[in-house]
Structure 1
Amino acid sequence: MNKHIYNLLLADDDEDDCDFFKEALEDISLETTVKMVHDGVQLMEYLKTDSLVNLPDIVFLDVNMPRKNGHECLKEIRTIDALKNLPVIIISTSLDCGIVDIMYEKGANYYIRKPGDFSKLKNVIEKALITASENNFQRPSRANFILQP
């Protein structure tokens, strides 16, 4: 695999989850940078203004956020020409089949259930980056949509 620095954007309102995500990135074998926003409004403002010339490689998007949730953000991302192909990986505490199906239908690239174990979090984040990259950031079939640690 080519040496690549992954420019990531995490949208998550839980500060502890953000800290764990950042710590996990420091422990994986891939080089990354990460920008964090803490609600859906901040995410969309960032994507529409701050990053149009330098989009992240991947957005990790929590489903349950204040002001604008992950469903609304994903739907909006997919309607904006400059963002419609932006890889979005859902990262949520829920693994409700209905929510998973909706996020797939709305165009998310992958779905991760937030593991409670730090080593599993590291593994699934690294797996997500590698899998997405190997698949040229294209969406998988529904059967391969959920990534496990």
Structure 2
Amino acid sequence: MINNLAVEVLLVEDNPDDAELTIRVLKKHNLANNLVHVHDGEEALDFLFGQESNNLPKLILLDLKMPKVDGIEVLRKIKKDDQKKIIPVVVLTSSKEERDVIESYQLGVNAYVVKPVEFEKFVDAVTQLGLFWLLLNEPPH
């Protein structure tokens, strides 16, 4: 059972390899001691909207291209909700499509990162995201 009171990161990722690597990198650097991984947008919405407002994650890492409910729709619902819109959302996706970048920012995404294809660059990108959003960034309380 997940201790939702301490959730630091909600990882919304349908690619098992990308999810495993992201989780390993964050845990290696002690950046996500309590990380919840969901496999699609539908699971993400169920998790987020089934929680009390004080049980929400400190950061959402969101893929865009997923089955059932895509990341754009998840982002739209998060940013329309008064309690959840303050959660930092970082799109971490393979999509370089300009329309995805523009729509994500129009909906209020906090950052848009294209997943590097090379292993070392992917590790570095995830490490930097974790360091910034979980240690340096000062969220509202």
**Could you say which TM-score interval applies, normalised by the shorter chain?**
0.7 to 0.9
Cα separation, partners in 2 of 1:91 and 1:52, compared to 1, 3 Å:
same
Contact 1:27 1:122 in 2 (8 A): no
- State the alpha-carbon separation in 1 of the partners of residues 54 and 66 from structure 2: 26
Cα separation, partners in 2 of 1:115 and 1:84, compared to 1, 3 Å:
same
Matches within 5 A, 1:14-93: 14-28=15-29, 30-32=30-32, 33-50=34-51, 52-93=53-94
**Higher share in strand:** 1
Aligned to 2:136: 134
* Greater shift in the superposed pair: 114-123 or 62-71: 114-123
Higher relative contact order (CA 8 A, sep 6+): 2
- The CA deviation string for residues 53-112 of structure 1, in whole angstroms up to 9 with x for no partner, is 311110000001111100000000011111011110001011222211111111111111
C-alpha RMSD over aligned residues: 2.1
SS in 1 for 2:53: coil
SS in 1 for 2:26: helix
Report runs of 4+ in structure 1 exceeding 4 Å deviation: none
- State the alpha-carbon separation in 2 of the partners of residues 135 and 17 from structure 1: 24
The two structures have a TM-score, normalised by structure 2, of 0.83
The runs of 5 or more residues in structure 1 that have no matched partner are 139-149
SS in 2 for 1:31: coil
* Greater shift in the superposed pair: 13-22 or 127-136: 127-136
The runs of 5 or more residues in structure 2 that have no matched partner are 1-5
Q: CA deviation at 1:51?
A: 5.5
Percent identity over the alignment is 28
- The aligned length equals 133
**Higher share in helix:** 2
- State the alpha-carbon separation in 2 of the partners of residues 31 and 14 from structure 1: 21
